[in-house]
Structure 1
Amino acid sequence: MDDPAVPSASLVAQLAQELQRHAPFAQMQADELHELLAAAAQAYYAPGELVLAPEHGPVGQLHLLRQGAVSAQRGLADTAGGFHYEAGEMFPVAALLGQRPVTASYRSQGDSFCLLIPAATVQAVARRSAVFADFLSRRVAQFLALSRRALQVAYASQTLAEQSLETPLAQLLRGAPVSVPPETPLHEALALMEARHVGSLLVADAEQRALGILTRHDLLSRIVLPRLALDTPIAAVMSSPVLGLQLGDTAQDAALLMSRHGLRHVPVLDGERLVGIVSERDLFALQRLSLKQVSSAIRAAESVDTLKLVAQDIRRFARNLLAQGVAARQLTELVSHLNDVLTQRLLQLVAVARGMDMGQACWLAFGSEGRSEQTLATDQDNGLIFVSDRPDAERPRWMAFAREVNEALDACGYPLCKGGIMASEPACCRTPQEWLQAFNEWLEHGAPEDLLKASIYFDFRPLAGDAELARPLRELLGRHGAALPRFLRQLGENALRSRPPLNWLGALEGQTLDGREGVDLKLQGTALFVDAARLFALAHGLAATGTRERLEAAARLMQVPATESEGWVGAFEFLQMLRLRGQMEGGAGAPTNPNWIVLETLNDVDRRMLKECCKVARRLQQRIELDWMR
């Protein structure tokens, strides 16, 4: 290594311009960045030269890689490989902040130039710069935010949406709600609605507790057509009970509530006290497609041909949400919700046509739909529970019903499952007793095919019919999952079969598909987190099916530090977002695998974030090895 040289004033200016291409320097104030660079010394490392090692003692400088590459290896004990740093990245952050030696050996890969910034300067700038401090302590979350912001800009020209579905309802309220006591005569209530130019009127008691609601939509059916006297108390015609949300709930929560119950207005409560109301117009005022518009069109469809047309709006709606900067969790939940609505409508149409009683059955969603994590390129994974004392005699009738639904879903853009995980197959069309027996056998035997079935069927969710028929299955998993250590170990082994796309140096290592280097974001990305979350859920008896909810709940029970569990969730959601973006941008020349991302198409932030996510996945797998593989 050459002797470190303090950069000149002209070089500081040049370096500042150079570093502003990378996070977090682009978001920092100019004086903060100049303070870092003015105190820095520049060092050169030859190919293969040792940069840092445990024997060097506590780290006193932050290394900011300006050119070249540096890899870190932890020795033979770390079978998962090392870390790889490229231009614009900093290391070793954890050791510097902890004032301890590094635990790995860092070596230069080629000719490398680093800026060495004293720890005292790093700490001083971090105290003044929230951007810099947050980036040092929460790199995954910061990369995720930067990537989402870039994605929002990229899609902004394709939509009129301006509001984020993450906005708390407290920020959407425009003032006190218009409300009246329950004894108010209709003529006074209607006059108040006209005077205040409101489309809904809340009914509340003296303590401002919501008792009911009357909307313009109710006037024709409840007052005009029945020729109700206008001195009738509003309590006689109001809708009750009121479905409301709390101040801390989000616009997304309100949108889902409206869609699921056919509402146009949602009261907002502070505890039990009524404090406001939000309407569909508040949530999607400038958006061409609203969640309720799409779901209402699906529910109103009278044929499969109509549903085929309406299903195309789901992709358009998802594109609009991407432009708002909506996070992957909310986007996949909303896509899954619309897919649920479409499936439920199909089931209604086919059940009526065939004379089937869905009160004697339950349609189950498996896999990603069961977890409410569907992307836009998804096939069918579903099953059916039916009640019968003569299952062999009645199964063909239910299978024929399910086959018509499966084929209709295929026509709407949800391909038939190549693995046959569909309600029209005998293995997926069972009575409650048969399903319980199957779940028990998979838990007790743990053969390779049983583990495959567990990875699909155990992520189930009732979608239509009698949901109580599925309750014994969830209770079985909650009781027996943790009591079968052999099965948990086998699940752990299964979760380790795929590895993150990192080479032994810790650099991204893609494979070739259609002549281009890339990564399968499902098999080498999201599936790693999904498998780990399923293992954690079974081990701790968690009822949650969503990956995020499973990871968060398990982390609390396992006493995992918040920074680590936040990394799990952030990495999983970023990978989901990359998948969604690739599927939306698919077209001529797109990879044949809808989950494939071509590495050369990634910008600097997304490429670094992808590598960071792979590191998080690798550490998560290391935890599984330590906790379940011994």
Structure 2
Amino acid sequence: MAEVDIPEVTDFLAEHAPFAAVPRGDLERLGRRLTVRYARRGTHLMSVGKGNDEVFVVRSGAVQITDENGSLVARGGEGTGFGTTALGGRPSRFDVVAIEDSLLLVMSSDVFEALADGNAAVRDFFSEQREARLRHALQSLPHHDRANAVLQTRLRDLLRREPITTTSDATIREAAELMAREQVSSLLVVDGERLTGIVTDRDLRTRVLASGLATTQPVRAIMTTDPVTAAPDDLAMELVLEMTSRNIHHMPVVEDDRPVGMVTSTDLMRLERANPIHLAGDVAKAKDLDALVLLSQRLPRIVDQLVHEDATADGIGRIVTAVGDAIERRLIMLAEQHLGPAPVPYAWIVLGSQARLEQGPGSDQDNALVLSDDATPEHDAWFASFASFVVDGLVACGYPRCPGGIMATNPQWRQPLREWRRMFARWLDEPTPEAVLRSAIFFDLRLLHGESRLVDTLDQQIADSAPESGRFLAHLARNAASNEPPLGFFRGFVLEREGEHKDRVDLKRGGVHAIVEVARVQALSRGLPQVNTLARISAAAGAGALSTATAADLHDAFEFIRYVRLTHQAYQLRQGQEPDNFVAPSELSSFEKRHLRDAFQIVRSAQQLVVQSYPLGFVT
């Protein structure tokens, strides 16, 4: 250990972040409190699991930082700082080794804390290091069945043969003979090399045989024009999401506007665990509620399988939502078969996590009805029965009623369009804390079935009015900031103090839900149309409401917290328990504990940004 040359050290620090932003006088005072330490190559400066009470800055030489699995996190030379994550004796998350003979500037924890307290640039710089660690953690999540991660297969690996094509001038008979000869269930229709349509065996049954159409007609009479397509490097997971949500069974694969193959639901079924699309197909054919109930009981197993695949939390949420959408749409079809056609046009909308494509195990239902302005009081009896059929059916399929009564069975949420417009105008123009808290879920809405124009009108009203509604946004911001992450002063978890979840960490209120609310207020403030939380975060960054770095941090925090929650819920499902959002610290690995703390800190920082962006002090 040696004393430092204060002017020389001051000049050195002034050349490196974050010290370059520290006033010269503060740097000189810091220099008087530093010492110099020499470390030979191979010296372990920090070790996983061991406490530390010093912060280091590399004066010369180089260090290597690895995590507990031995994976490289970073290498750094002159100016590299480390040690802040293990201050106060907390177990280190990293190994730090000198990979060259090195000189280190060393400051004690109290010196560092005093410097960080007085200089935001220092505090923020080392906070960003924490966020980079969380990103590294997401990349190295311990997936149990990585070797069997079949949903990560690229589509080009599923293509078995060249695409079978025809032209739009070919007759229906010629197309059917070609399908029989090639033993395929679909044909791609091309104009030169460009894909223009698709014909499937279902088209032959429903558009030709059932309709008595002459087979001498050209195939263009029955083809689906401009079909949805995929790219060769798309993942099987992405294709499952797309085909499940659209209830389609054939997907042309196109590269440079040229069809290169076809992937079918049968191809996906060969991927052992890719059965959500099979479930959605069975749901679409269910003849009654009893059949739907049986089918819905397959969803927990799918969730458990996906958790143990190399599937993201966002991907799992989209698949669970797609299956939920399929069940709800089938209930709507069955209701119309039972009650007869609706007396006036309507839109069945879903709200909350389902609208955001973020449903998980145990999600309750949130839905509403937007009726045409032609609706009269005499029509309400039909729509009341209709809503009861669907809502009761969802309950039978495992989707509990909304505790707050936000369902189409509630007359308040079964209104003509003009009344919905009045409600949104009142929420936006004359907000009160209670009304905004109760109405926030309605700003996460999505059409599930019915007349899109009814929902398009509301979406446009929100996009036009929300950015100009300062008081409304301030109330939303206050709500977003009020759900504090379960993180104590010394970065310990804050546990539930009473009730059935006593001594457990709530992953939803101050974690998942807090990020949802931050994303919502930032997106609405710019009139953005996105509803999915990750899409909102990205769009908000593109519109300047969030910095690129903050958006990336929130994305990672949202994914990691949801990953931990899904792992917990999958375990509960295997044990025959009802899934919830509360996890005992004893159930978490050291890996999960460490990075949950980082994720919660990111949430807290994002909430502070929201507080700074909106005049919460003037909201009463």
Residue in 1 that maps onto 2:119: none
In structure 1, the partner of 2:30 is none
CA distance in structure 2 between the aligned counterparts of 1:333 and 1:42, rounded to whole angstroms: 41
Show the counterpart of 2:542: 556
Q: Which residue of 2 aligns with 1:344?
A: 329
Q: Say whether residues 1:164 and 2:151 are aligned partners.
A: yes
1:75 counterpart residue number: none
Equivalent-residue separation in structure 1 for 2:275 and 2:595 (angstroms): 31
Deviation string, structure 1 residues 321-356 (Cα, Å, up to 9, x no partner): 223321111111111111111111111211232224
Q: Does 1:398 align with 2:383?
A: yes
Say if 1:300 and 1:221 are closer, same or farther in 2 by CA, change over 3 A: closer
TM-score, normalised to structure 1's length?
Answer: 0.76
Q: Alpha-carbon deviation of 1:487?
A: 1.8
Shift of 1:420: 0.8
Match of 1:40 in 2: 44
Q: TM-score, normalised by structure 2?
A: 0.77
Return the alpha-carbon distance in structure 2 between the equivalents of residues 247 and 408 of structure 1: 39
Which SS does the other structure have where 2:583 is aligned? strand
Report which structure shows greater RCO (CA 8 Å, sep ≥6): 1
Q: Give the aligned residue type for 1:302.
A: K
Alpha-carbon distance between aligned partners in 2 of 1:112 and 1:488, rounded to the nearest angstrom: 41
2:166 aligned with 1:180: yes
Kept in 2: contact 1:432–1:469 (CA 8 A): yes
Identity in percent: 27
Coordinate RMSD, CA, aligned: 4.2
Give 2:431's match in structure 1, choosing from 440, 446, 453: 446
Partner of 2:116: none
Task: Find 1:478's aligned residue among 463, 466, 488.
Answer: 463
Question: In the alignment, which residue of structure 1 is the partner of 2:310?
Answer: 325
SS at match of 2:572: coil
CA distance in 2, matches of 1:524, 1:373: 17
How far is the alpha carbon of 1:245 from its aligned partner? 3.0
Report the Cα distance in structure 1 between the residues aligned to 2:48 and 2:213, rounded to whole angstroms.
88
Matched AA of 1:547 = T
Q: For this pair of structures, how many residues does the alignment match?
A: 554
Compared with structure 1, are the counterparts of its residues 284 and 370 closer, same or farther at alpha carbon in structure 2 (3 Å cutoff)? Answer: same
CA contact (8 A) 1:64 1:89 kept: no
Residue of structure 1 equivalent to 2:139? 145
**C-alpha distance 193-138 of structure 1, shift in aligned 2 (>3 A):** farther
Could you say which residue in structure 1 is the equivalent of 2:444?
459
The answer to whether the 8 A contact 1:351-1:358 is kept is no
Tell me how far apart the structure 1 counterparts of residues 371 and 173 of structure 2 sit (CA, whole Å): 51
Contact 1:163 1:284 in 2 (8 A): no
Once the two structures are TM-superposed, the CA of residue 395 in structure 1 deviates from its matched residue by 3.3
Contact kept, 8 Å, 1:63 with 1:114, in 2: the verdict is no
Q: Judging changes above 3 Å, is the alpha-carbon distance between structure 1 residues 525 and 235 closer, same or farther for their aligned structure 2 residues?
A: same
Distance in structure 1 (CA, Å) of the matches to 2:408 and 2:361: 21
8 A Cα contact 1:163 1:283, kept in partner: no
Q: Aligned in 2, Cα 1:247/1:115: closer, same or farther, shift over 3 Å?
A: closer
Shift in CA distance, 2/382, structure 1 to aligned 2, threshold 3 Å? farther
Question: What's the CA shift for 1:602?
Answer: 1.5
Which letter maps to 1:150? H
Which sections of structure 2, spanning at least 5 residues, go unmatched?
Answer: 4-38, 103-128
| Selected match of 2:54 from 51, 55, 63 | 51
Correspondence 1:108 to 2:88: yes
In the alignment, which residue of structure 2 is the partner of 1:24?
none
Deviations 1:357-400 (A, max 9, x none): 17611111111111111111111111111124564444344223
Pick closer, same or farther for the CA change 1:274–1:493 going to 2, 3 Å. Answer: same
Moved more, 297-306 or 415-424: 297-306
Tell me how far apart the structure 1 counterparts of residues 175 and 331 of structure 2 sit (CA, whole Å).
40
Alignment CA distance shift 1:112-1:479 (3 Å): closer
Query: What is the SS of the residue equivalent to 1:338?
Result: helix
C-alpha spacing 1:98/1:247, structure 2 compared with 1 (3 Å)? farther
- Contact conserved, 1:359 with 1:466, CA < 8 A, in 2? no
Could you say which residue in structure 2 is the equivalent of 1:200?
A: 186
Which consecutive residues of structure 1, in runs of 5 or more, have no partner in the other structure? 4-34, 67-86, 123-134
| SS in structure 1 at match of 2:543 | helix
Amino acid at match of 2:479: N
Q: How has the CA–CA distance of structure 1 residues 52 and 282 changed in structure 2, closer, same or farther, with 3 Å as cutoff?
A: same
In 2, distance between residues paired with 1:287 and 1:485? 51
CA-to-aligned-CA distance 1:395-453 (integer Å, 9 cap, x gap): 34422321232122111111111211111112211111111111111122321221212
Paired residues of 1:52 and 1:105 also in contact (CA < 8 A): no
Whether the 8 Å CA contact 2:42–2:99 is kept in 1: the answer is no
1:419 aligned residue: 404
Code of the residue aligned with 1:108 in structure 2: it is: G
- Counterparts of 1:111 and 1:178 in 2: how far apart (Å)? 61
Q: Contact (CA 8 Å) 2:240, 2:274: kept in 1 or not?
A: no
Evaluate the alpha carbon distance shift between residue 59 and residue 501 of structure 1 in structure 2; reply closer, same or farther with a 3 A threshold: farther
